[in-house]
Amino acid sequence: MINTLRLNNKGVFNLAPKYFFRGVERIVGGIGVSSYINLFDNLQFITEINTSFKNDSDFKFSLALRYSLQPEKSIDLYYLNAEGILDIGQLLEDKEYRLGFKLNFLF
């Protein structure tokens, strides 16, 4: 992935800019910083912090454990304070914390 720095065999660090249109003429931007730490061959600990470039923006975070069943199939158990776990949802803060799981399939 672009903007990814491999620290060692155990982990990587990623910087992800995020932009979307809000209305006709307004572009909203933000940035996400994440790390993936390999605990075992098939278990990763994933942390991410996101914030938008608004003046009053708070930090949104997510913590996840990813268990890989096979190289192309995995399941995430996550905990976060954002509206969603992907893209724009990571920039929008929720008033409640969320706990859930996500299935991942690579084709």
Q: Is the pTM of this model over 0.75?
A: yes
Question: Which stretches of 1-107 are assigned E, i.e. beta strand?
Answer: 4-8, 11-21, 27-40, 43-52, 60-70, 73-82, 93-105
Confidence of residue 12 (pLDDT cuts 50, 70, 90): very high
Confidence grade of residue 73 (pLDDT, cut at 50, 70, 90): very high
Share of the chain above pLDDT 70, in %: 93
Nearest to 67 by CA among 42, 100, 46: 42
Mean pLDDT along residues 68-83 = 93
CB proximity list for 27: less than 8 A, separation 6 or greater: 19, 20, 21
pLDDT at 86 over 60: yes
Alpha-carbon span 96 to 20, nearest angstrom: 24
- Listed by start position, the domains of the chain span 4-105
Highest mean pLDDT among 37-46, 51-60, 84-93: 37-46
